Every structure is written in C-alpha cells, then in structure tokens.
Structure 1
C-alpha cells in the first residue's frame, strides 16, 4: 500500500512540474501561444479511453478492431502535435527557443506521467 501511495505522489509531482513548465513557457516570455499545447495534453488520452473498450477480450483472436486502431491513431496524432506545435511556433518566430524547450520538456513530463500511470495501474486479469 505504501508503494502505491508513493507512486501516486511521485506521478502527481511529475504532472504538476510538467504543467508548471508549460505555464512558465508562456508567462516568462510574455507570449501565451504555447498554452495551446496544454489542450493536447487533455485531449490525448481521451480517444484511447473512449475507443479502448472495443478491443477483443480474447488475446488469441486474430481479429483487430478498426475502432480501437482509430483511437490509437487519433491519440498518436495528438501526441505528435503536442511536440510539433512548439517547434513550428519557434521556427516561425512566434515564440522563443527557450519557450519551445520548456514547453516540450513539460510535454515530456505530462505524457510520461500518463504513460507510467496507465502501465502501473492497469488491472490484469489472470485466468
């Protein structure tokens, strides 16, 4: 039980640090365009959550669900746009390079937290 609480606290610290870096990338440089990336943080896990229930429960089934594949595609599209948008904004001169680096590092922390949380607390059914 104590290891579960420690992992929850550690993940929440990483998530808060990621959001802090994203907000600081906007506030320190007086340009709020990197805040658009935060919307991709919130939207990225939703397609897997919505379409993940359409996966076959039989692990030996050779049938792949196109609905679940579509959810994975939309999730990957949102994650890639979360990393690519700061690069495009910095390349076009809208934000500075330091704001881009802070926004990308905040994205790494947020997405990493989501991935670690989903792998740590996934319920495994043994039969």
Structure 2
C-alpha cells in the first residue's frame, strides 16, 4: 500500500510544513527571533553524525563509548533547545504566544520527519 516514493513524498510535505510554520512564526508577527530555532534543526543531527562512528557494532559488548554518548548528549541538548527557545522567548515577551506555538509545532514536524525517515530507511544489517 505504501511505497517508498509515497513515503518520501509524505515526509517531504511534513518537512516543508514544519519549515513553513517556523518561518511564518517570524514573518506574521514581524519578529525574526524564532528563526534561531531553524539553526537547531540543522545542527541537531551533526553530533550523532560526527561521533556516531565510535559506536561498537557488537550488540553483546558491554563497552560503552563515552565519545558516542557525548554525541548523543549534544544532540539531545540541541533538540531540547529547539523546543525550549521559543518558550523562553515568549516568556520574556520577545515573541508572541502564537509565534511560540507555531514554532514548536514546526519543530515537532521537522524533528518527527527526521526520526521517521531515519527509522524507516535504516540499512538492514545481515548477521
């Protein structure tokens, strides 16, 4: 029922809607501070991409790489910052509450698209 091209098309629509909401949260209310959240979208996957190669391929190994854990921690910091920054800006009175909601919903769409894409198209490893 769902083909790979339909899945990619649906994910690209969700990603575009997320970026659109983030940009509209700036443009509609005349304040461009919520655009800082878009930078966290771009920076969030980088620590996992950089430090992910230090993960062991043996699932039975008890050894945990502190470098890989640091990469996961930095990714989590950037993702949480993407959701927390609009809340802080709204609480400080810099942006309106509607701009905050639009930015958070846009972040959910963007991060959700990234997570769904990475889980659906993960390479299958042969044992």
Question: Above 0.5 in TM-score?
Answer: yes
Partner of 1:64: 64
- Provide runs of 4+ in structure 1 moved above 4 Å: none
Is 1:49 aligned with 2:73? no
CA distance in 1, matches of 2:87, 2:57: 40
Please report how far the alpha carbon of residue 126 of structure 1 lies from its aligned counterpart in structure 2 after TM superposition: 2.0
CA distance in 2, matches of 1:18, 1:121: 20
Instruction: Give 2:108's aligned residue.
Output: 108
Classify the secondary structure of the residue corresponding to 2:31. coil
TM-score, reference length from structure 1: 0.97
TM-score by length of 2: 0.97
Does residue 81 of structure 2 align to residue 81 of structure 1?
yes
Give aligned pairs, total: 126
Task: State the partner residue of 2:125.
Answer: 125
Which residue does 1:34 correspond to in 2? 34
SS in 1 for 2:63: coil
Partner of 2:25: 25
State the alpha-carbon separation in 2 of the partners of residues 97 and 124 from structure 1: 43
- Structure 2 unmatched ranges of 5 or more: none
Q: Superposition RMSD on alpha carbons, in Å?
A: 0.8
| Gap runs ≥5 in structure 1 | none
